[in-house]
Chains A and B, each alone.
Chain A
Amino acid sequence: MAQHTEEAQAQGADAATAAGSHGADAAAGHGASAAHGGGEAVGMPQLDVTTFPNQIFWLLVTLVAIYYILSRIALPRIAAVLAERQGTMTNDVAAAEELKLKATEAEAAYEKALAEARSEANRISEETKAEMQAELDEALAKANAQIAERTSESEKRIADIREGAMQSVEEVARDTAQALVSALGWSADDATVNEAVQNRMKGQAR
């Protein structure tokens, strides 16, 4: 195969078409594949040593180009972007920590204020309760006194009325007794009747 290709070089013709000493008919039949593939392969194109200098030359050019693109532009830039992102993230995390601390402080202040307000409210409610209790006690005492006064007054009046009633009863009894005695045909002086009625009433009142 190397012979064929050397031959091709010597003739100055395309290696593929000139390799035709054993593939002429095949080469003729395949315009289609030549149209896109470029040429007709004889054996393995990878082993065609005549193309090696060309491939190696362009490969080295390419590698140098890529190396320069990477080491001069791409890699420093990507490294910078990554470092910046890392920095931003660190900063953000620190800021978040700070905010969290602030939030904790605020919460503590809030708790404290709440406790104070609660105790203040308790105090006020206690005070109010005590005041109200005092007022209530006073009012109650006053009312009790009034009630006692009224009661004693009423009792006195009842006693008066009762006494008056007793007297009346005695008079009525005496008069009745007098009338009864005289109706029965007897006579009795007032003193005797009086005594009898009084004795009787004492016995009854006993």
Chain B
Amino acid sequence: MAHQTDQSSAQGGGYGRIILYAALALLVIATLFLQPQEAATSIHPMDQFVVTPLFGDSVAWYTPTNVTLWMLIAVAAVFVLLVSSTSGRAVIPSRAQSVAELSYGFVHKMIEDVTGREGLKYFPYVMTLFMFIVVANFLGLLPMAFTLTSHIAVTAVLALAVFLTVTILGFVLNGKEFLGLFWVSAAPLPLRPVLAIIEVISYFVRPVSHSIRLAGNLMAGHAVIKVFAGFAGALGLFGFFPILAITAIYALELLVAFIQAYVFTILTCVYLKDALHPHH
């Protein structure tokens, strides 16, 4: 493999060869000075998800932990993104203000498209979910960061909050008619009870899929990156292949970070639509 790349880059000549030699030299130096301790046991992809207290040893419900730290950073990021950037209130926006306006318009339009104008009452709520998830996802991609949304406890609370809001709102706004959501009046009468059971089951499965989708996607991506990082350490001289793979996966994870926030938010809108218009 190394010979092949050597030859092909030699044909290319110039910069490519110099960069390759420099990279190889760096790798040799790195393997000489930073020898991986026991290669086989150096892969610990799940360590990044451990919740540790910032001070002391035990984790009580109020203990400041790395979760607390990254939650604080997320709040600060949201503040910078949406408040500091718009402090100019410019008619012709700066770049930062454009980002704030784009995210506002993105979620605003999403709610309006899915639920109609009545749904705009719940815009701050949906926007809170979206901003928290998208910021947490992207912050989690920083090296050494703790990924808040990779924890099922976090995403389950988010999904349950949506589930409870939608259910309570559905009954408050529509009363008993909210149960019409499960009674498919378009189907033939004998089928309706069967469909009702399926609908009820799918309704209660919603928060599960809603939360596990988000946490699972992020956890898997981050774990894969760590696994490849472990390979990079174990492979020594050939470590640059896993590094290339990490680069590619990182690009994919950037996409996933946004898409999962989008999916969570649009599903929230879809569920909200059920609460506002329970009739099929």
A binds B: yes
Which chain A residues have a beta carbon within 8 Å of chain B's beta carbons? Answer: 9, 12-16, 26, 29-30, 32-34, 36-41, 43-48, 50-63, 65-67, 69-71, 73-75, 77-82, 84-85, 88
Are B104 and A58 neighbours in the complex by a CB distance under 8 Å?
Answer: no
Total cross-chain contacts (CB, 8 A): 170
Q: Which of B34-84 contact A (CB under 8 A)?
A: 37-38, 41-42, 44, 46-52, 57-63, 65-68, 71-72, 74-75, 78-79, 82-83
Bound CA–CA A55/B59 (angstroms): 10
What is the size, in residues, of chain B's interface with A at 8 Å between Cβ atoms? 60
Residues of A within 8 A of B33 (CB): none
List the 6 shortest-distance A-B pairs measured between CB atoms, nearest first: A38-B52, A53-B61, A41-B46, A37-B47, A74-B82, A51-B51
Q: Do A78 and B86 touch (CB < 8 A)?
A: yes
Query: How far, in angstroms, from A34 to B50 measured CA to CA in the complex?
Result: 10
List 26 A-B residue pairs with CB atoms under 8 Å apart, sorted by A's residue number. A37-B44, A38-B50, A41-B46, A45-B49, A46-B152, A48-B51, A50-B59, A51-B51, A55-B153, A56-B61, A62-B72, A62-B75, A67-B124, A69-B75, A69-B82, A70-B78, A71-B124, A74-B86, A75-B82, A75-B124, A77-B89, A78-B86, A81-B101, A82-B104, A82-B105, A84-B89
CA–CA, A58 and B64, complex, Å: 9
Complex alpha-carbon distance, A35 and B71, angstroms? 21
Nearest Cβ in chain B — how far from A74, in angstroms?
Answer: 4
Chain A residues near B68: list those with CB within 8 A.
54, 58
Residue B132 lies at the interface, judged by CB distance under 8 Å to chain A: yes
The answer for the CA separation of A69 and B77 in the assembled complex, in Å, is 11
Known: A14-B52, A51-B153. A66 touches B131 (CB 8 A): yes
Contact, CB under 8 Å: B91 / A67: no
Kindly list chain A residues whose C-beta atoms are within 8 Å of the C-beta of B41. 26, 29-30
Distance, CA A54 to CA B66, complexed state (A): 10
**Residue contact A75 to B60, C-beta cutoff 8 Å:** no
Name the CB-closest residue of B to A45: B49
Task: Say yes or no for B225: interface residue by CB 8 A criterion.
Answer: no
Residues of B within 8 A of A56 (CB): 61, 153-154, 157
Q: Could you tell me if B75 and A65 are in contact, using CB atoms closer than 8 angstroms?
A: yes
Complex-state Cα separation, A41 to B219, whole angstroms? 14
A88 and B48 CA atoms in complex are apart in Å by 50
Q: Is B153 touching A52 in the complex (CB atoms < 8 A)?
A: yes
Binary per-residue interface labels of chain B (193-209) against chain A in the complex, 1 for a CB within 8 Å, 0 otherwise: 00000000000000000
Please pick, from A37, A74, A78, the residue contacting B50 in the complex, using a CB distance under 8 A. Answer: A37
Bound: A71/B66 CA distance, A = 27
What separation, in Å, do the CA atoms of A73 and B84 have in the docked complex?
10
B90 neighbours in A (Cβ, 8 Å)? 81
B121-155 interface bits toward A, Cβ cutoff 8 Å, 1 = contact, 0 = none: 00111011001100000000000100010111110
The answer on a CB contact under 8 Å between A63 and B91 is no
